[in-house]
Amino acid sequence: MRKDINGTKKGFSTLGVYSMQEIDLNLIDATAEQPRKTFYQDTLEELAQSIRERGVLEPIVVRPVANGRYQIVMGERRFRAARMAGLSTIPAIVRELNEEEAKADALLENFQREDLNPVERAKAIQELLTFMSWQQCAKTLGVTESTLRKYLELLELPESIQAELAKRDSEGVFLESHARLLRALSGDEATQLRLARKIKAENLSTADTAKLIDAIKEMPEKKEAFLRVPLHVTHEILRHSGRSAERSRRFKPQTAEQHMKQMLKTASTMYDLLDPNVIAYLTSEQANQLLSTISELADATVKFGQQLRSALQRNDFGFKEVYIHCPLCGRIELVGSVRCAVCWTVLRRCCDCGNYDQVYQRCSVTGNNVYMSDAESPDENSLSYRCEHYKPKFEAKKAA
């Protein structure tokens, strides 16, 4: 580094020949090619206050143009803040650059700044690709070509959505990932814009947004409802219409067992909730809503029961719908359940069977001896465990 005769500093770097000067702000012009299009007044004022107190800590970069003037390559925000702070000059690095070099440097410098919004980043990439190959652009920015494509996807969205993405809102967060999902609704800008605002208003995650878009695509006739109601109501609408994805999923033995256990647990909870004393405290409107829900649940339960019954008749040779009481907890079970779903007690006890002779402690059908201890407390090794001749003495109250 050396100081020349007119007071400027000259030097060499990997960027080429440059000089450091204090330049009159009136001789500096911004460029229309500036990647950053959004300058927030509040942050500019904060920077201007910092400059008043400490000066410009990082020089801007300019290039000489005609008539002794300079054009900003990097640092327009510092330039604007310096004007606001009342400075007449600003420290600047002067570099001899042509139009293409200046544009590349400006785009690269702005791309690396965290406060550049996603749309501005996308447009910066688009500009670079006008004079760079995809491979060269990706290498220059230090990203993959797939990342470049993801940014450029944002420019396929309508201007209104790009504007929402560029906003600084305290209302909620609208991210790049949200915006990309809206591409699935291309051609319907009004819906895209309403959905973008709903995402911010309700703080929807990208997963929630994907579900909402799927619902709109699955049931376009319900679109207006989906855009107006909370997400959990959307799920309820889908469920009510019989099109919920949960109803069409494929089970594996393990997941089917888990699902069954969840249904048994939920059914037990429902038994506890069906308290008639609550009816006296409900308004007429509430009672109507509850009756509607209970009736719908009852219809669905009957339908599901018929499907279970048909499956058993089809797959379980010799199936008989015989209900018995669990000897321990009193739960009513189908005899084919083998064990009680609540207390896991073996259901078929010889002492409850009409074919068991308690005097001689033997089965009158097979002639097998079954001692009273085994007849009253059977286990998996007992003769009664899966006995096809089991005949309960007393018929349990049959399920509806």
- In this predicted structure, the answer to whether residue 344 has a pLDDT above a threshold of 60 is yes
Range 77-100 average pLDDT: 90
Per-residue b or e along 287-309, where b marks 16 or more CB atoms closer than 10 Å to that residue's CB: eeeeeeeeeeeeeeeeeeeeeee
- What pLDDT does 397 receive? 63
First to last CA, the chain: 95
Alpha helices of 22-75 — where are they, by DSSP H?
41-54
For residue 294, the Cα-to-chain-centroid distance in whole angstroms is 31
**What percentage of the chain reaches a pLDDT higher than 70?**
87
Q: CA angle 331-337-343, nearest 5°?
A: 45
- What pLDDT does 37 receive? 58
| Nearest partner of 100 among 140, 156, 155, 52, judged by Cα | 140
- What pLDDT does 115 receive? 62
Residue written as token pair 């990342």: 147
Range 306-316 average pLDDT: 88
Q: pLDDT confidence of 1, banded at 50, 70, 90?
A: very low
Q: 110-137: per-residue pLDDT in tens?
A: 676 656 788 888 888 888 888 889 998 8
pTM of the entire predicted model: 0.51
- What pLDDT does 154 receive? 92
Q: Choose the catalytic residue: 33, 45, 53, 76.
A: 76
- What pLDDT does 19 receive? 83
Spatial contact of 333 and 327, defined as CB atoms under 8 Å apart: no
Range of lowest pLDDT (57-71, 119-133, 261-275)? 119-133
- In this predicted structure, the answer to whether residue 172 has a pLDDT above a threshold of 90 is no
Q: pLDDT confidence of 33, banded at 50, 70, 90?
A: low
Q: 281-292: per-residue pLDDT in tens?
A: 999 999 999 999
Ramachandran class of 16: left when φ > 0, alpha when ψ lies in -120 to 50, beta otherwise: left
- What pLDDT does 171 receive? 53
Q: 207-224: per-residue pLDDT in tens?
A: 999 999 998 998 899 899
Spatial contact of 329 and 342, defined as CB atoms under 8 Å apart: yes
Active site residue 76: yes
Query: Cβ-count burial of 370 within 10 angstroms (0-12 exposed, 13-18 middle, 19+ buried)?
Result: buried
Query: Cβ-count burial of 37 within 10 angstroms (0-12 exposed, 13-18 middle, 19+ buried)?
Result: exposed
How many DSSP H helices and E strands does the chain contain? Answer: 15, 11
| Nearest partner of 49 among 85, 75, 17, 96, judged by Cα | 85
Range of lowest pLDDT (21-25, 200-204, 239-243, 252-256)? 239-243
Spatial contact of 139 and 129, defined as CB atoms under 8 Å apart: no
Whole-angstrom Cα distance, residue 109 to residue 21? 20
Q: CA angle 123-124-125, nearest 5°?
A: 90
